[in-house]
């Protein structure tokens, strides 16, 4: 599910005023309020939250926006400090139910969250089917297939054939390299990008057809690249 989001790097904000002004500016751009950059008359929290509320009301915005504050450990170095719990409660304090705040930090101070327990979000590893679904719909995958089709425009294979073959090809790579890749999409795609032309070459040369998955795999092994690419 897609969602609108704003990313603010606290490391690029040297003061609380800059942080607030940049947030307001990005919010206005996102909701379509084409107004000049506005300096806040005050950098107190009340002015900031009222400005957020006014933006949503003026734009009549009723869909969720995710507000991401990155490197929030930098907030402790501001001359005027702001507790991180305040940023987490922006939706409540601004009376805007369509605002979700996400804080990213490399140094977590337990007490600033209003709890003695460190909040932990566990992201379980993708299953085989989930990983392959993501990689097959990835923008780079679609671009690679598009380039292949352009190169093979005189080939009898259709785009659907290539997509089906790509899915089976990715399944082979998962079974072969999963213990090494460990869910790394970039590494998986870098390997698949190198091996894909080799995998489909027998089809181009008429030595195999799109259904000969085992034969295609064996041809790939004969190149000694499939087994030594990692």
Which of the four pLDDT bands, split at 50, 70 and 90, describes residue 123?
low
Mean pLDDT lowest for which of 53-62, 144-153, 197-206?
A: 144-153
CATH number at residue 99: 3.30.370
| 167, part of any domain | yes
Does 37 lie in the same domain as 100? yes
CA atoms 147, 223, 201, 183: torsion sign: negative
Do 146 and 108 share a structural domain? no
Residue 23 falls inside a structural domain: yes
* Per-residue pLDDT reduced to its tens digit, 1-24: 467 889 999 888 888 888 888 898
> Which candidate, 103, 107, 206, 196, places its Cα nearest to that of 154?
206
- Residue that finishes a domain, picked among 63, 79, 113: 113
Q: What is the pLDDT of residue 229?
A: 46
CA atoms within 13 A on the CB side of 219: 21
Q: Is the pLDDT of residue 179 over 70?
A: yes
Same domain, 83 and 9: yes
pLDDT, one tens digit per residue, over 27-69 is 888 888 766 555 555 567 888 888 889 888 888 888 888 999 9
Query: What is the rounded CA–CA span in Å between residue 58 and residue 64?
Result: 16
β-pairing verdict for 4-9 and 65-70: parallel
- Is residue 208 in a domain? yes
Mean pLDDT of the chain: 77
Tokens of 5: 């989001």
228 assigned to some structural domain:
no
pTM as predicted: 0.49
Q: Is the dihedral of CA 175, 178, 180, 184 positive or negative?
A: positive
The predicted structure's pLDDT at residue 149: 60
Of 83, 113, 143, which residue is a domain's last? 113
Q: Is residue 122 part of a domain?
A: no
Are 86 and 10 contained in the same domain?
A: yes
98, 157: one domain: no
Q: Could you tell me if 143 and 181 lie in one domain?
A: yes
pLDDT digits (tens, 9 = 90+) for 93-115: 888 888 888 888 776 654 455 55
Are residue 35 and residue 81 in the same domain, yes or no? yes
Which residues form the domain of 101?
A: 4-113
Same-domain status, 79 and 135: no
Cα separation, 164 vs 158, in Å, equals 10
| Number of independent structural domains in the chain | 2
Whether 8 and 107 map to the same domain: the answer is yes
Same domain, 53 and 105: yes
d(CA 223, CA 228): 10
What are the strands of the beta sheet with 99-103, ordered from one edge?
4-9, 65-70, 99-103
168 and 218 together in one domain: yes
Same domain, 172 and 90: no
As given in the structure block, the two tokens for residue 198 are 């080799």
């Amino acid at each position: 599910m897609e969602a609108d989001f704003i990313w603010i790097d606290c490391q690029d904000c040297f003061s609380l005023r800059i942080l607030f002004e940049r947030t307001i500016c990005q919010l206005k751009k996102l909701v379509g309020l084409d107004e000049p950059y506005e300096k806040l008359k005050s950098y107190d929290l009340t002015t900031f939250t009222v400005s957020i509320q006014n933006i949503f009301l003026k734009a009549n915005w009723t869909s969720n926006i995710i507000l991401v504050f990155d490197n929030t450990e930098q907030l402790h170095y501001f001359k005027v400090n702001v507790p991180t719990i305040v940023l987490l409660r922006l939706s409540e304090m601004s009376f805007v139910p369509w605002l979700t705040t996400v804080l990213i930090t490399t140094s977590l101070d337990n007490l600033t969250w209003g709890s003695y327990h460190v909040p932990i979000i566990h992201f379980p590893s993708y299953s085989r089917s989930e990983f392959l679904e993501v990689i097959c719909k990835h923008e780079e995958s679609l671009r690679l297939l598009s380039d292949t089709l352009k190169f093979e425009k005189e080939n009898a294979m259709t785009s659907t054939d290539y997509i089906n073959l790509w899915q089976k090809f990715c399944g082979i790579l998962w079974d072969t390299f999963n213990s090494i890749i460990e869910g790394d999409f970039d590494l998986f795609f870098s390997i698949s990008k190198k091996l894909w032309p080799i995998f489909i070459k027998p089809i181009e040369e008429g030595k195999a057809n799109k259904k000969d998955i085992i034969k295609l795999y064996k041809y790939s092994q004969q190149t000694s690249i499939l087994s030594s690419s990692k």
